[in-house]
Amino acid sequence: MKYMKFFSVLLVTLSVSMAAEIGVIEELVAKVNGDIVTRGDLDRALRSVAGELQQQGYAGLRLQEALTEHQKDILRDRIDQLLLQQKGKDLNIKVDADVTKYIAGLQKEANIADPEKFQEYVHQQTGMSYEDYRADITNGMLTQRVIRQEVGGKMNIKKEELQAYYDAHKTEFMRDERVFLREIMVSTENKDAAGIAAAEKKAKDLVARARRGERFAEMARDNSDAVTAKNFGDLGGFKKGELQATLENAVWSQPKGYITDPVKIETGFLILKVEDHQKQGQADLSEVENEVMDKLYAPRMQPAVREYLTKLRQDAFLEIKPGFVDTGAAPGKSTAWSDPAQLKPETVTKAEVSNKAKKKKLLWAVPIPGTQQKQTSSSSK
């Protein structure tokens, strides 16, 4: 722990020194193992929260009250993020492949093939550099994986609990008959006869691949021209009469896993897969087990995550500047702030150095167990 403190103080000192060289000094707020939190970090986080609230329709006094409520936990949340990111690295969790796949999906959705143009598009949409945006995505996925692995993966819900919840809430699991679908749409918009023929051939090839066992959801993501591609082609569930007659006739009586031939529609060729066909009446526990599991997990997950983060705090080197409060602080954990500017170099005299060297040699005198004698290593002679 003392080495961690040394390196953290060194990092803070270097950060202040570098900031001073370019004429900008960020106010340091907290030290979290080898990372630091600045007032600028907290301001950016609060602006991000404000943007999200505005998108949800908050405005005026209601927005201000919500921001005030969030502001008290801004430092807590930033410390949480850093601790989870650090833990993910300690656990050697790799998310690079997932990040690359996610960003490739965004690039496909934006329909921008040129990498430099896509990076500029990211900057315009987020106000962040592409590198910072990718780092944020990476850190977000890393923290999710840590929580899933270290918290969710260790929560054990027994079969008896599932059965008890199901028995007590059976009315929640009454079902209308529905068919659940995914789609792949190959567009024919603005295409001539040759283009339409090529689209039909592509659709037939996709059907053949799907029937051979390729994953329909991933095929939808990579090949569909519909807006649902970003959601792996998921269309959700439909009751009897909610689909166009042509489409309903193609899927309603078919079993789970069935894949239609290409269906010609106004804008292209549509391929549907029956993900599930939910029968009317009381659902069996086996049909809704995942849903019941989610209902049992939800109220337990947040306190379990909070408990895990408290433990990470207890094991961490953590200092918080006076005037700032970590609302997730570990009970009894000292987070007293030490200012690097007030640290004084340790000085020693030549006599002290010489004395320490002599004392070091005595370490080679090893007591013989059960006796008053000492065995001296030849290296000390």
Top-confidence residue, 309 or 280: 309
**pLDDT (tens digit, 9 = 90+) per residue, 103-120?**
988 888 888 989 999 999
**pLDDT (tens digit, 9 = 90+) per residue, 126-140?**
888 999 999 999 999
**pLDDT (tens digit, 9 = 90+) per residue, 228-252?**
998 899 999 999 999 999 999 999 9
Farthest-apart Cα atoms in the chain, separation: 102
Q: Cβ neighbours of residue 32 under 8 Å, at least 6 residues apart? A: 79, 82, 83, 86, 316, 317, 318
Top-confidence residue, 381 or 300: 300
Q: Mark 264-285 as b/e (b = at least 16 C-beta within 10 Å).
A: eeeebbbbbbbbebbeeeebeb
Question: What pLDDT sits at residue 279?
Answer: 83
**pLDDT (tens digit, 9 = 90+) per residue, 13-56?**
444 444 444 445 688 999 999 899 999 999 999 998 998 899 89
Whether the model clears a pTM of 0.85, i.e. scores above it, the answer is: no
- Residue whose pair of structure tokens reads 């908050």 in the numeric block: 58
**pLDDT (tens digit, 9 = 90+) per residue, 287-334?**
889 889 989 988 899 999 999 999 999 999 999 999 999 999 999 999
Q: Mark 12-32 as b/e (b = at least 16 C-beta within 10 Å).
A: beebbeeeeeeeeeeebbbbb
Question: What pLDDT sits at residue 363?
Answer: 37
**pLDDT(362) > 50:** no
Q: What are phi and psi of 233, to 5 degrees?
A: 80, 10
Which structural domains are found in the chain, ordered by start? 177-279 (3.10.50.40), 350-380 (no CATH)
Report the alpha-carbon distance of residue 35 to residue 82 in Å, rounded.
Answer: 7
Question: What pLDDT sits at residue 128?
Answer: 85
**pLDDT (tens digit, 9 = 90+) per residue, 163-181?**
999 999 998 888 888 999 9
